[in-house]
Structure 1
Amino acid sequence: MILWIARTQEQSEVGNLLRYLEELPLRSWSYLLNHAGKLLASYKLFVAHKAVFHDALYELGQLDALLSITTLMEETRVKGTAHAYAFTKFVEPSQAAKPHLALTAMWNPMLEPAVAVGNDITMDVGGVQTVVLTGPNAGGKSTFLTGVTYSILLSQVFGIAPAQLCELTPFSSINTYIDVTDDIAAGKSLFMAEVARFQDHLNRLRKLKRHELSFSIFDEPFSGTNPTEGAAAEYSVLNSIADYQNTLNIVATHYPMVMLLEKREPTKGFKNYQVYITKDEGGRIQYSYKIIPGESTQTIAIDILEEEGYSSEMLKQARDIIDNPDKYKKSFTEPKKPAKKTAPKSNQNNSHNKAGKK
């Protein structure tokens, strides 16, 4: 009986709350006739009975999310551009115990579909496990890295991806090594922040269980130190990460040494990819933003300085350094100095000493 009375009272109060909300002139609110008492009563009733609305609000939130996804997919479709969203096909870990990712015409959703450039990539253990991406500045490396990551995140949250085709195994860990900055307050330089971020990633890899899969992107790691040690550190760490059979990785780098991993470690799944540029008849740089297999040999940093108006004298010297590196060569490690040789004592001196002793 008491339970019935309590339930009846709750229903009555919830009914009052709904009636108050319907009667409140929320769309044409007046500060003179604002019905403050009814508004306060509504608030108190809602706080008292908020649990009643929990399930309804949860379902409403799911419905709103589904409608938003549908609207997004339809808006990109009706624009008639080459890029749109597709439903992701998931490969269950039971079918593929190793990580797998396949994207066709993938584009970065932070760009307008009309201007975005699509790229293809297929990765899995036994094939391409680690992509080493090189190429000129502003060629689209970071855009590609983040585009792939957005595709995986959107797939695992909403089931869609900015691509014509997306197929993947669900990843337990998605790691992004991008835009690493120093932390002056904590006393960490840029390089120390990079070291800490990579160490955190290595610790996560070690803790993964056999059936848990990982995907990671690295944007120019260890760039906060001198290029000799930075390249050596990046080469060694990536080579170590490739020993894990449950992870896929993409790294963007300017270190030529890292491109050697494909040939020197042929069983670990390293594959070189590149972005490239062309030049028009006037010598102006044209960006393709396309990702293709191969090692990049293009350098355009000085050309960019020229386009930005740097003086011809500075550009001339910069190009001379590139064309004649031996003239400006300076190692970060000093060569070992040969040990000083002590002159052997002559037999004549020895004989005099012996004679003196006698």
Structure 2
Amino acid sequence: MIRKTIAFFFAINAGLCFAQTSIKNPFELIAPIVLNEYIQPQKQETTEAHEINLQGLGSGAQEVKKAEEAVNLNLTPLEEEEVVKTYISLFPQIIDSHIVHNIIGHEDFCSLQDLQKLNVLSGTASDKTHSLKHIFPTKTQAGAICKTLILGHPTSNKKTLLQRQQEIRFFLKHPEIRVKLQEQLDVIAKNERIFLNYFKAFSPIEERELNSYYFNAKFLKPINKSPKTLEAYHLSIRALTMLGFVPVQIWQRLSTEIARTYQETGSFPQIFTHLPEIMHNTCKKGFLDLLHQHNPRTNGLKKIESTDGRAFSIAATGKEHTSWGDIALGAEYQLTEGHTPSNQIKRVGIRALSQLFGIIPAAYLDAGTAQLAYQTIQENKRFASILKNFHTKLHATAKIVQAYREIYTLIEGSPLQHDGLLEEFMLFRDNSFNQMVETLEQNKWINRPFSFISNWGQILATNQQLETYKAQIAQPLYEIGLLDTIAATATVIDQTTASSLPISFASYENSEQPSLVALKFWNPLVTTHKAVLNSIELLPEKAHGLLFTGPNGSGKSTNTKGIIFNIILSQTLGIAFAQEFKIAPYTKLFAAFNEQEDVAQDLSSFMAEKMRIDALCRTIEKLRPDERVFVFMDEAVKGTVEEAAGEIILDTCLKLAKQPQAHALVITHTQAPTQAEQLTNGIFKNYFVEVLEPRINEFIRTFVLKEGAAQWWFSSPETRKAFIKFLSNEEEMKIAAA
């Protein structure tokens, strides 16, 4: 099936260029990103454990599917999307609590649009997993949501960041606890999708079907809590229904078939495996037997006087003991055809017709009885499917609740239990909730394969309780998501350390002006064996603007994203892929790159780029003394000639240099902006990515940052042409290899 594509649409105009993300409900903003990650990778997943769909249920024969399809517990793509959206919508219930602020801080940092374009939250068109978010292997859907929330909302709150580091250090110090935690997270991940069906919105027909299994009158609703009452009620309904509609012959045949199956298999459980087939065949054969009761047998024709011995012989030796209506009547007409006197033909024909008219109402009466019997059996099969649906969800929920207890035991009394972080686990203090949990944990039937012959009442009553407590059971999943993200971060640190590449905890400077020192940093999206270490610094008393020059394809963007990724990681998870990373946390990140034309607004690419830059400059001019911002511009002007683009970039650099509260990283392949270093007295500093030319027209990209402008690129047109040809040949070789 075609899955609905989910994407953000942002206006490209000056008024919205730097609109801040509202913290009132960040969950709605990250929902499309989470859905894209969570649903798309599992598009082909259809395991038996995830069969949870109540589509097509109804109370009448015309409203329901066949019983074997009535409760096929499988979420369609659109249903799955709606379930996940409903799940995410639960987050705002705790939006003002300490938990959310521990996760995402208190201020807006950057637009989600920019974070997506920077591959922080979303991958590329060719590789959806090529993003910073996918580096951290969270196991649960709650972890995916929490991870997206954290990386999508960097914070300058040092207390939050230091606490995050303490949590990660705990798992680094206690790997055995991390392993046990991740085992429980695996349990939650396997059952999470099934549990989410409690939040599925049903159609009126489905609602009516599900409600029909409970007492709905207000004064009778308390009875729904009694397993014994519910079981007795449904046993009575099933028994009365079957006894009222199913003739004795069918009961006899059913008993015979069950006995025969037991003799063949020698296994009582096998009877219930084959029961649907037995019941179907019993009904089918029973209907034919009912019709046979009203069948005129051919031996009735023996008394017909005929002068034709051959004809009499046919009638007398007809299939008198086994033939049914169509055969018998055919035999009568065959007897009379051309072999009897005309008066006998008339008499036998009338007799046959009178018997036929006698068969029709009687057969239809028995056919109606058989149809009622068939509907009754189908209804029971549908009831069994409903019970199996409930049992499956109860089993999944029981596993999740058991995992909660194990996780709480693991981390109780640890540094993770700070500031009420695990407050949602306190729902275990609720007596009525604990009774329900006790039912889930102690009833062994939940962990056994579903059986239609037992636990009707327990399944129905416990499911009703789960409908009441489902939001409370979902509540700890928010904290589970945070634990999942923290444990995943600790795992990444261990793996990176094992690869001999640097990774460290960021240190935070107390400075009113922005400050950044990154020693031996690298881009974590680069394959580890290709990673190149570089260093940069932006200090108040020194340069606070970097200008990277050189051709496209030389490695400017790779290094730039390495810097931005580490800034975001240092202000979300408290880590950096660097030997040392010191930062006075930024309060904002502004980006200007990859602007697109807007035909509807009559806005060309160049005008969109120019408006973005102008809006950026106006915003920078109005910074408060307590704000520290990082500005990133990557080929911000491409919609005009190179000379004009260079002048615009240079002018922007000069404006940024006047604002001490702003750090800037500007990427360009034009030469004019390199004058900024001289014109700003070193506030802007030139860098280029080293490209070696060991032989003429042969190049080696080192990805190493060097101080100075890319003079090798600007000074020689022949070298530029040769390098562009080199890149083209490389790309062709990649395509050929693929």
TM class by shorter chain equals 0.7 to 0.9
- Partner AA of 2:567 in structure 1: I
Say which is worse superposed, 161-170 or 171-180, in terms of deviation: 171-180
State the match for 1:285 in structure 2.
Answer: 699
Where do 5+ consecutive residues of structure 2 fail to align? 1-426, 714-718, 731-738
Where do 5+ consecutive residues of structure 1 fail to align? 1-6, 311-358
State the match for 1:229 in structure 2.
Answer: 644
Distance in 2 between the 1:249 and 1:113 partners? 28
Distance in 1 between the 2:582 and 2:653 partners? 25
SS in 1 for 2:529: coil
Cα distance per residue 1:260-295 (max 9 Å; x no partner): 11112216x011111121124474211010111011
Among residues 46, 58, 61, which one is paired with 2:469 in the alignment?
Answer: 46
SS in 1 for 2:492: helix
Distance in 1 between the 2:720 and 2:559 partners? 20
Distance in 1 between the 2:554 and 2:446 partners? 51
- Partner AA of 1:302 in structure 2: K
State the match for 1:106 in structure 2.
Answer: 521
SS in 2 for 1:298: helix
**Identity across matched positions, percent:** 23
- Partner AA of 2:707 in structure 1: P
Q: 1:37 to 1:98 in 2, by over 3 A?
A: same
SS in 2 for 1:114: helix
| Per-residue deviation, 1:155 | 0.3
Distance in 2 between the 1:266 and 1:110 partners? 35
Among residues 485, 490, 497, which one is paired with 1:65 in the alignment?
Answer: 485
Q: Is the 8 A contact 1:85 1:161 kept in 2?
A: yes
Cα distance per residue 1:119-140 (max 9 Å; x no partner): 1001122211111111233111
| Per-residue deviation, 1:207 | 3.8
Among residues 606, 615, 619, which one is paired with 1:204 in the alignment?
Answer: 619
SS in 2 for 1:272: strand
Distance in 1 between the 2:446 and 2:697 partners? 62
Cα distance per residue 1:318-348 (max 9 Å; x no partner): xxxxxxxxxxxxxxxxxxxxxxxxxxxxxxx
Distance in 1 between the 2:644 and 2:490 partners? 49
State the match for 1:89 in structure 2.
Answer: 507
Q: Select the structure that is richer in strand.
A: 1
Q: Is the 8 A contact 1:73 1:84 kept in 2?
A: no
Q: Is the 8 A contact 1:88 1:165 kept in 2?
A: yes
| Per-residue deviation, 1:46 | 2.6
Cα distance per residue 1:165-206 (max 9 Å; x no partner): 100101000122233333334432211221232233224323
State the match for 2:576 in structure 1.
Answer: 161
Bigger radius of gyration, 1 or 2?
A: 2
SS in 2 for 1:157: coil
Among residues 306, 320, 326, which one is paired with 2:725 in the alignment?
Answer: 306
| Per-residue deviation, 1:241 | 1.5
Distance in 1 between the 2:691 and 2:428 partners? 73
Among residues 494, 497, 505, which one is paired with 1:77 in the alignment?
Answer: 497
Distance in 2 between the 1:138 and 1:9 partners? 59
SS in 1 for 2:496: helix
SS in 1 for 2:615: helix
Q: 1:62 to 1:191 in 2, by over 3 A?
A: same
Among residues 139, 143, 148, which one is paired with 2:558 in the alignment?
Answer: 143
Distance in 1 between the 2:709 and 2:611 partners? 29
Q: 1:58 to 1:97 in 2, by over 3 A?
A: same
Say which is worse superposed, 96-105 or 16-25, in terms of deviation: 16-25
- Partner AA of 1:87 in structure 2: F
| Per-residue deviation, 1:106 | 0.7
Distance in 1 between the 2:636 and 2:437 partners? 57
Distance in 1 between the 2:593 and 2:524 partners? 17
SS in 2 for 1:136: coil
State the match for 1:121 in structure 2.
Answer: 536
Cα distance per residue 1:289-329 (max 9 Å; x no partner): 0111011122354224434369xxxxxxxxxxxxxxxxxxx
Cα distance per residue 1:133-178 (max 9 Å; x no partner): 1123311111111111110100010100010110010100012223
Q: Is the 8 A contact 1:125 1:248 kept in 2?
A: no
- Partner AA of 1:70 in structure 2: A
State the match for 1:314 in structure 2.
Answer: none
Distance in 2 between the 1:120 and 1:63 partners? 32
Q: 1:72 to 1:17 in 2, by over 3 A?
A: same
Q: Is the 8 A contact 1:231 1:257 kept in 2?
A: yes
Q: Select the structure that is richer in helix.
A: 2
Cα distance per residue 1:64-96 (max 9 Å; x no partner): 2221111110011112x3x2320001002xxx2
TM-score if structure 2 supplies the norm length? 0.37
Distance in 2 between the 1:285 and 1:24 partners? 69
Q: 1:189 to 1:8 in 2, by over 3 A?
A: closer
Q: 1:296 to 1:47 in 2, by over 3 A?
A: same
| Per-residue deviation, 1:57 | 4.1
SS in 1 for 2:502: coil
Q: Is the 8 A contact 2:617 2:652 kept in 1?
A: no
Distance in 2 between the 1:31 and 1:186 partners? 63
- Partner AA of 2:725 in structure 1: E
Q: 1:281 to 1:179 in 2, by over 3 A?
A: same
Distance in 2 between the 1:143 and 1:197 partners? 23
Among residues 579, 583, 588, which one is paired with 1:173 in the alignment?
Answer: 588
SS in 1 for 2:633: strand
CA RMSD of aligned residues (A): 3.2
- Partner AA of 1:77 in structure 2: T
| Per-residue deviation, 1:31 | 11
State the match for 2:103 in structure 1.
Answer: none
- Partner AA of 1:303 in structure 2: A
Q: 1:262 to 1:76 in 2, by over 3 A?
A: same
